[in-house]
A and B are shown apart, each in its own frame.
Chain A
């Protein structure tokens, strides 16, 4: 048996279910059984064709239950917090909520914002109807593992007609402290009818560890949810993240994914357009360098008529990095008048970088508009010549075109302050300076050419 499986079994059997309500214990057990039955995904499965998990199963990532951590200061965390005015910041270290590192004030009346550990004790009745409802652990083995180890994360409940004015910023920081550890953050965000919520989830850390996170988002009718994921894990880390969302009628869900770090990365986004006229934007940018492997899976499930979805994913790969995009659009028989667009464009900055892109449309309705396109290419020689013919150095022109490629995605992020922070991240990762803040003068767009000169 794989070392990882042994470790998971050992950790699971010593999880101590006694503190949980019965329904949760049943859920966790059922998820673990499902994982054991199914085992690890094989490259023969379409969704795992280009990502081999066998090497990672050699590492017995340990699940650490106590939340006593030294050495993670507010200063260290600050580096991973985007400068967004008024944002509530919730910090998790090795998977556990750290109130002393977090800022929490000014919640609107009726809104519930709690660590998952806390919510399972005090608001179990609100958590239960939604937890694991859309994140299907029978389909996804690593979602099953996460579900089996549900312990902490964030729970937000936004009641009817409540507009949350401040973005909520979650920072998950892992410090592996000499041993290889795993965290299973579990987030649940429920936004009721006409509610509005903006979220940022950031992942970072130090050392060799595995983040296996699952977020479920439930948007009620006419609700609006903006969700930004920023992945800046250690370049030795393994990062698996899954977001599952379900939308009721006339709701808006805009998801922005930025994947920079990690050695082995899998970003999964699964959207169910469950109500008429709901709309979804999936905006994604990923970058890989060195030996990084970055896999992006998206599913856009049109389950209702008159819904629309827009999907833009872009990737930049350097060195020997490998990228995967597998974008699935399902249009159910009842989902007439669906409007779905998908595009995946990739820029390779070396000869050795590899990209596998696969748009995948399954259309069962007859009155729909669907389009998709995928490209893999190098820096455009005509654009390069154009910039050089105006006096710009070859390498500056090259960098500018690389930024410009990514910037199209960054510009779609609505939160003020977030765009600038992402431009800094892009600069750092492109130039291999991941350990310090970039002086703003070094950034080609620091003065915001879109706004002023």
Chain B
């Protein structure tokens, strides 16, 4: 599904290189966790996959379902089934959550050759998904993320994921800023969205999230490179020994 080969990425504004040769292969149905210390490039990788234009790919390639992902605009990546849950979901005063979600869903449905949902059908779909992640319906009428608590924002991201039905979901630090109850709800939501034809990449600093969403593979990113890969046991080892242990191995 996703093939990243020797990916080098720098920040457009200042030319600082963040990713220095990433190789990663993700198959349908798999859940990959990408862990690493602050500044290792985890979030950069997530943003580059979604098409953030503040970064520049200087070397390497990303193939998604056989297509050159780097040639696609962010909106076309979303329509092709890529979804990024942001670490810091953006507030958009003046646009209602429902309007945003319905417009997004219909843009994606048009691209897939499906009929657009009308207001009634959208509402019943949204209600069903909100129930499933224990989100109050009133959030539909509120402006996108405005005045939401940290946990509510993250839950709103998972709601979007549930509605937009992606093939590849990238969750960037979805656990950060969540208390244990909120974390459980979000994790339950994510687990329920696991499917044999859907892949997920979890970007996280802490092992904690992986107690609730158990990954198939764990990769450790450090200094812009993947320095270790393994199964879920690797995450536990990291928890015990800290990131210094992996850096020593480079």
Contacts and interface: CB of A to CB of B under 8 A. Distances in A.
A62 B246 CA distance: 84
A389 B107 contact: no
Interface string A350-393: 00000000000000000000000000000011110111111111
B96 A449 contact: yes
Interface in B75-103: 75, 77-79, 83-84, 86, 89-90, 92-96, 98-100, 102-103
Most chain A C-beta atoms within 10 Å of own C-beta, residue among B50, B52, B77, B95? B95
Interface stretch (A41-49, A239-247, A397-405): A397-405
28 contacts: A381-B54, A385-B53, A385-B74, A386-B90, A387-B104, A389-B78, A390-B104, A391-B78, A391-B104, A391-B108, A391-B111, A391-B164, A392-B103, A393-B75, A401-B95, A403-B95, A404-B93, A404-B94, A404-B95, A404-B143, A406-B94, A449-B96, A449-B99, A450-B96, A453-B98, A453-B122, A453-B126, A453-B141
B34 to A, nearest CB: 18
Contacts of A18: none
A65 interface: no
Given A444-B99, A452-B119, A388 B75 contact: yes
Given A444-B99, A453-B102, 11 more contacts: A388-B73, A389-B83, A389-B84, A390-B164, A391-B79, A391-B104, A391-B111, A393-B107, A404-B92, A406-B94, A407-B94
B174 interface: no
A449 B141 contact: yes
Interface in B42-64: 50-54
Contacts of A206: none
B12 to A, nearest CB: 11
B111 A387 contact: no
B11 interface: no
**Shortest 9 CB-CB distances between A and B: which pairs?**
A404-B94, A449-B96, A449-B99, A390-B104, A391-B78, A391-B107, A407-B94, A388-B74, A386-B90
B83 to A, nearest CB: 8
A405 B94 contact: yes
B51 to A, nearest CB: 7
B84 A449 contact: no
Interface string A424-453: 000000000000000000001101011111
A31 to B, nearest CB: 43
Nearest to A397: B75
A392 B141 contact: no
A273 B227 CA distance: 67
Contact of A389 (B50, B93, B99, B126): B50
Secondary structure class of chain A's binding surface, majority of residues? helix
A385 B53 CA distance: 8
Contacts of B107: 390-393
Given A404-B93, A408-B94, A390 B99 contact: no
A443 B9 CA distance: 40
> Which of B54, B108, B122, B143 neighbours the largest number of chain A CB atoms within 10 Å of its CB?
B143
A394 interface: yes
Contacts of B99: 444-445, 449
Interface in B127-143: 140-141, 143
Grouping DSSP codes into helix (H, G, I), strand (E, B) and loop, the B interface class, with mixed when no group exceeds half, is helix
A284 to B, nearest CB: 16
Contact of A453 (B86, B90, B123, B143): B123
Contacts of A393: 75, 107
Contacts of A382: 90
Given A383-B90, A385-B52, A450-B141, A391 B119 contact: no
A259 B166 CA distance: 43
B96 A394 contact: no
B174 to A, nearest CB: 15
User: Of residues B51, B79, B141, which shows the largest number of chain A Cβ atoms within 10 Å of its Cβ?
Assistant: B141
Contacts of B98: 449, 453
Contacts of A411: 94
Contacts of B100: 387, 390
B204 interface: no
Contacts of B79: 391
A452 B137 CA distance: 12
B94 A403 contact: yes
B222 interface: no
Contacts of A449: 95-96, 98-99, 141
Nearest to B103: A392
A407 B144 CA distance: 14
A453 B140 contact: yes
Contacts of B77: 389
Contacts of A397: 75
A383 to B, nearest CB: 5
B78 to A, nearest CB: 4
Contacts of A387: 92, 100, 104
A381 B92 CA distance: 12
Interface centre among A390, A404, A444 (most CB of B within 10 A): A390
Q: Which of A389, A445, A451 has the most CB of B within 10 A?
A: A389
Contacts of A408: 93-94
A422 B120 CA distance: 27
A386 B86 contact: yes
Contacts of A444: 99
Given A386-B92, A388-B73, A394-B73, A453 B50 contact: no
A385 B75 CA distance: 9
Interface string B140-184: 110100000000000000001000100000000000000000000
A447 B141 CA distance: 12
A331 B51 CA distance: 51
Contacts of B111: 391
Nearest to B145: A386
A447 B98 CA distance: 11
Contacts of B78: 388-391
A394 B73 CA distance: 9
A444 to B, nearest CB: 7
